[in-house]
Amino acid sequence: MQPRQPISVRERARNAMRAELAVLAQDLFADKGYEQTTIEDLVAAAGISKRTFFRYFTSKEDLVLGKHDVWAERLVEAFAARPGEEPVWESLRKAFDVVVDYFTDETQLSRALAMEKVVQDNPALGAGELERISRIQDQLAEFIGRRLDRRSAADPRPAALAGAALSCLIAAKNVWIAGDQSKPFGEVLDDAMAALTPT
């Protein structure tokens, strides 16, 4: 695989601003509620104009679900960095540590759980989340196909592996969030993926 180009200073600054706005928005959504928080509230709290806001996000939904775009990039990078001889299922589990880290960061956990509730309580956000997960599946399937040298669009195996692994991730996340989080999220994910370990 070709090495990735380094991220430009401009792109790093853009990513930092997006992250800052996302954290600010999450706090507002948790405090006021998603539906009750307007773009005007967001730009006022951030001290920016609407025009500046729309340079970074297309909508409130984009603010909430933007983490999936970050996860997609990091998941693909993590999978691509795994040893080529490693079983694909194991590589996928290791790549999912990107999401495990998100939910095990004690400084961010209460905010992360609050945002998951916002998504669960809003059908439009739930649908948007599924659409973004579908995109992640497509990206992972492409890399799985390269790893297995199965790049034909007629071969369902790379997409099936990506979809099954992501289903395990979603199931683990939902069970862990609905519970008391006494068991580490990584272990819940291990249990879910062990249930479908390819033979």
Whether residue 44 is contained in a domain is answered as no
Q: How many residues does the chain have?
A: 199
Whether residue 23 is contained in a domain is answered as no
CATH number of the domain residue 117 falls in: 1.10.357.10
Whether residue 2 is contained in a domain is answered as no
Whether residue 41 is contained in a domain is answered as no
Question: For position 37, what pLDDT does the model report?
Answer: 92
Q: Per residue in 35-48, pLDDT tens?
A: 999 999 999 999 99
Whether residue 1 is contained in a domain is answered as no
Q: Measured between alpha carbons, how far is 144 from 174 in angstroms, rounded to an integer?
A: 25
Whether residue 146 is contained in a domain is answered as yes
Question: For position 3, what pLDDT does the model report?
Answer: 46
Listed as own residue / partner, the contacts of 94-103 with beta carbons closer than 8 Å and 24 or more positions apart are 95/140, 96/165, 96/169, 96/189, 97/186, 98/71, 98/74, 99/71, 99/75, 99/169, 99/173, 100/185, 100/186, 100/189, 102/67, 102/71, 103/173, 103/176, 103/185
Whether residue 199 is contained in a domain is answered as no
Whether residue 35 is contained in a domain is answered as no
Question: Domain tally for the chain?
Answer: 1
What DSSP designation does 82 have?
S
The percentage of the chain sitting over the pLDDT mark of 90, rounded to a whole number, equals 47
- Alpha helices by DSSP H, 96-122: 97-104, 109-120
Q: What is the pTM of this model?
A: 0.81
> Which range of residues forms the domain containing residue 172?
59-194
Q: Per residue in 95-126, pLDDT tens?
A: 999 999 988 888 888 888 888 888 888 999 99
